[in-house]
Every structure is written in structure tokens, then in C-alpha cells.
Amino acid sequence: MNNDSIVFATANPIPEIWPWEAEEAGVKIFATGRSDFPNQINNSLGFPGIFRGTLDVRAETITDEMCIAAAFELAKIAEDMGLSEKYIVPTMDSWEVFPREAVAVGLKAISQGVARIKPSRQELYDHAMSIIKKARDQTNILMKKGFIKKP
């Protein structure tokens, strides 16, 4: 393997190669689909923001460009939070990611002409943040009351 290689071994639950094996082979950046290793690559990082942004502008469809906008926003967030070899994407616990993604997706839908309504960037952000925070708060209450088992 070349020095400074990048490997995304995303098979679950057992990746194609283990992180320690990849490191021994000279891999510089390694990601899996698992949450117990750094750099979890998981579609759950994209879908909440993609769907929220789509719904918030009442988009007629989800375009490839809207999904790419979400991916670019994930990259920006990773940069904002200290991009490193062990941190190339936000973690699943970083729920603040989703409102930012929703804004990127909503704005892309507006620019592509597939949005039925056209709120401002700030309106999109405030709305997404409010809905996502409320859902998280309600889930936490249900977990505390024992209606939902803690992970």
C-alpha cells in the first residue's frame, strides 16, 4: 500500500480491514461504518439534514446536487471542528450538524428551482434547529421516563 493512503472500509459489522491492520500497512486516514472507531462513515449523517432541508422548502424532489450540498456541509463542519486524520466527518452525536445540512440542502433546492417556498438562510436554520432540538428533547424525556431504552 502507498504511504499516506486513505481507506474507507465501510462493511458492517466487520470492516474489510481492521484499523490497526490498516495502520500497520501505512494507511494515514482510515474510516469504517462503525461507531466504535474514529471516522464513522454512515448515511445517518446525511439523511436527517437532507430530509429536513427538503421538507422545509417543500421541494418537489431530492436532487443529486442537494445531496452533494449536504456532503459539502459535512466537510465544512469537520473543518470548523478541527479536521484531522482521526476526525474527517462529524460524529453521530453532533446533532448540530443536521440544521446546517438542512440549510445547505434547502438553499440548493431553492437555487435549482425545485423548492415550493423560499425562506431565507436564517429562517431555514432557525426552523430546522427548533424542530430538531424539540425532537431530541422529547426523546430524552422518553428515555428518562423509561419509555425508550437508552442505547
Cell numbers 454512515 correspond to what residue?
42
* 3-class SS of residue 35: coil
Instruction: Tell me if 59 is assigned to some domain.
Output: yes
Q: Dihedrals φ, ψ of 31, to 5°?
A: -135, 150
Contact indicator for 117, 57 with CB cutoff of 8 Å: yes
Residues 6+ positions from 92 with CB-CB distance below 8 Å: 35, 40, 42, 44, 45
> Are residues 36 and 70 both part of a single domain?
no
Contact indicator for 105, 64 with CB cutoff of 8 Å: no
pLDDT tens-digit profile of 35-90?
899 999 988 899 999 999 999 999 999 999 999 999 999 999 999 999 999 999 99
Cell numbers 500500500 correspond to what residue?
1
The model's pTM is 0.89
> Are residues 29 and 52 both part of a single domain?
no
> Are residues 109 and 48 both part of a single domain?
yes
Contact indicator for 65, 9 with CB cutoff of 8 Å: no
Instruction: Tell me if 138 is assigned to some domain.
Output: yes
CATH code: domain of residue 79: 3.40.50.720
pLDDT tens-digit profile of 77-133?
999 999 999 999 999 888 889 999 999 999 999 999 999 999 999 999 999 999 999
Domain ranges, residue 20: 1-41
